[in-house]
């Protein structure tokens, strides 16, 4: 199994809503990532978890809250988002020296 599975594929939420994005991998990877990608831009790193501990936070606003319940799962909790947070959110995982495997992403629209 070389897949990273993200749910949901699409999400529309209001600025007062609370929602969560989910990501799952069963490749035994030690590192898991959240990226944000705006149209015609490269993915921007948001968070990195290494061995289930948050190792990198790229100064992301607190309305985004990551969680790693176990080595296979990664969540991104969303609260009080702004319209400019609308984007494709990508999850990835990797071994130490290997490539990152990406999910298909969640396309988020904040209204």
Partner 1 sequence: AQSVTQLDSHVSVSEGTPVLLRCNYSSSYSPSLFWYVQHPNKGLQLLLKYTSAATLVKGINGFEAEFKKSETSFHLTKPSAHMSDAAEYFCVVKETSYDKVIFGPGTSLSVIP
**Per CB under 8 A, does 103 bind partner 1?**
yes
**Per CB under 8 A, does 50 bind partner 1?**
yes
Nearer to partner 1 (CB atom), residue 87 or residue 92: 92
- What lies within 8 Å, CB to CB, of 22 at 6+ separation is 6, 7, 73, 74, 75
Exactly one of 42, 59, 70, 84 binds partner 1 (CB under 8 A); that residue is 42
Q: Token match 């501990």: residue?
A: 53
- What is the rounded distance in angstroms from the CA atom of residue 108 to the CA atom of residue 11? 5
What is the binding site for partner 1 (CB under 8 A)? 30-31, 33, 40-45, 48, 50, 55-56, 90, 92, 94, 96-105
């Amino acid at each position: 199994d070389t897949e990273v599975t993200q749910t949901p594929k699409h999400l529309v939420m209001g600025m007062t809503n609370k929602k969560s994005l989910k990501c799952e991998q069963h490749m035994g990877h030690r590192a898991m990532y959240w990226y944000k990608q705006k149209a015609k831009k490269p993915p921007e790193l948001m968070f990195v978890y290494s061995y289930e501990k948050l190792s990198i936070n790229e100064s992301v606003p607190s309305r985004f809250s990551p969680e790693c319940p176990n080595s296979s799962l990664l969540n991104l909790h969303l609260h009080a988002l702004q319209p400019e947070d609308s984007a494709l959110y990508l999850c990835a995982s990797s071994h130490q020296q290997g490539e990152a495997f990406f999910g298909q992403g969640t396309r988020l629209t904040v209204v």
